[in-house]
Structure 1
Amino acid sequence: MRAPIGNFDNARPAPDCLDELNGPVAAAVRAWRGTVPADEMVYVDTDPAKADTAAFVEHYGQDLMTASANCVVVAAKRGGETTLAACLVPAAARADVNGTVRRLLGARKVSFASMDTAVELSGMEYGGITPIGLPADWRVLVDATVADMPWVLIGSGRRRGKLIVPGKLFTELPGAELVEGLAS
């Protein structure tokens, strides 16, 4: 199989390589019932030593610079309560944490969740956190430009490997909310 974007030597439908994914992501792929067929989720093996954006794009393809998205975990605080959520934005942008995200989450203060918290509660490796397989009670804020992309490269739940999925899939994830202007 050839990956729909990028220059990857090893691309396979994600349901065919569940052993390459971590537990929460594999479970989400296995249970997927959205309108986008599960076999349109493509797993590509990548070298963790080339994880730096510049090295990654140079090795796997310049088209990935505009076809990638980052999933960041935020901690929203209000009245002594902390709620976690995920934000999915184009890789070349940043989530508007202090404006849009704070308002959407109804929080007094929003910050990026600590690495330990994000890893422990997502069940994923830092640097590989993906919106596919996050806890069902988390809100997943998806920038509208990501949902409009034909194909999006995202993490696979591990530092090694990535997923390439149609952008419209993100609107069908548990807790997903399509947000105009999430990225700044």
Structure 2
Amino acid sequence: MSDQVQTPRAPFGNFPTVRLALDASADLVTPVAAALRDWADREAARSVLWVDTDPEKADTAVFCAAYEAPPELSANCVVVAAKRGGETTLAGCLVLATTRLDVNQAVRKRLGARKASFAPMDTAVAGTGMEYGGITPLGLPAEWPLLVDEAVAAAPSVLVGSGARRGKLILPGWAVARLPGAEVVPGLAAAVEAV
């Protein structure tokens, strides 16, 4: 029997460094590290991997090419502002990178809003405590709804931001569905038509 600790392996892609996210708290922004530490579902928390990546390659298309990550297993966390009666509700929406979030119908109706739109960058950054281009569903404010497209929850594993432009998180779809406050929503996103 060996006393060596087994290094975790990413389920896809070619990443120079792969660690359990729980062991990478020094590389995570405060809200993400706290969310992992405090996640009541320890099985889900232990399933999250952190992979080191170049922040200059954070754009989805560039990233997927550089790290051999399949776009259909990459997910984007989008912050949406929903308005009704003078009140604005911010929400996180998680969709596959190969799809487009249905803000005007699915999100607006699910949040009971008169109008819904992508939140301005400064609002998203200030509200999450994360870097733009790295916003992740882990560590969003507890009062925000987190809408997850059913395709993300059904994926074997998905790659999401880490809260910073450097590094990404990989976690199973079932763990995404167990994130605090997450609601899996059928039809939240539609496939992007090829041009």
Structure 1 length-normalised TM: 0.96
Aligned mate of 1:127, from 105, 128, 133? 133
Name the counterpart of 2:30.
Answer: 23
Paired AA for residue 4 in structure 1 = P
Aligned mate of 1:164, from 146, 165, 170? 170
Q: Distance in 1 between matches of 2:98 and 2:21?
A: 25
- Secondary structure in structure 1 of the residue aligned to 2:127: helix
Paired AA for residue 120 in structure 1 = A
> For the Cα contact (< 8 Å) 2:44–2:175, is it kept in 1?
no
With over 3 angstroms needed to count, the CA separation of the structure-2 counterparts of 1:48 and 1:22, relative to structure 1, is same
Q: Distance in 2 between matches of 1:100 and 1:110?
A: 10
Name the counterpart of 1:55.
Answer: 62
Name the counterpart of 1:32.
Answer: 39
Aligned residues: 183
Deviations 1:7-54 (A, max 9, x none): 101000001110100000000111122163422100000001112333
Q: Distance in 1 between matches of 2:111 and 2:165?
A: 28
Which structure has the larger Rg?
2
Q: Distance in 2 between matches of 1:155 and 1:23?
A: 14
Shift of residue 4 of structure 1?
1.4
Q: Tell me the C-alpha RMSD between the 2 structures.
A: 1.1
- Secondary structure in structure 2 of the residue aligned to 1:36: helix
Q: Distance in 2 between matches of 1:122 and 1:54?
A: 24
Name the counterpart of 2:75.
Answer: 69
Deviations 1:78-122 (A, max 9, x none): 100000001100111111000010000111100101111100011
Shift of residue 67 of structure 1?
0.6
* 1:127-166 mapped onto 2 (5 Å cutoff): 127-166=133-172
Q: Distance in 1 between matches of 2:104 and 2:60?
A: 25
> For the Cα contact (< 8 Å) 1:89–1:183, is it kept in 2?
yes
Which is worse superposed, 20-29 or 36-45?
A: 36-45
Structure 2 length-normalised TM: 0.91
> For the Cα contact (< 8 Å) 1:71–1:129, is it kept in 2?
yes
Q: Distance in 1 between matches of 2:150 and 2:44?
A: 21
> For the Cα contact (< 8 Å) 1:64–1:153, is it kept in 2?
no
Deviations 1:113-153 (A, max 9, x none): 11111000111110100010001110000001100111100
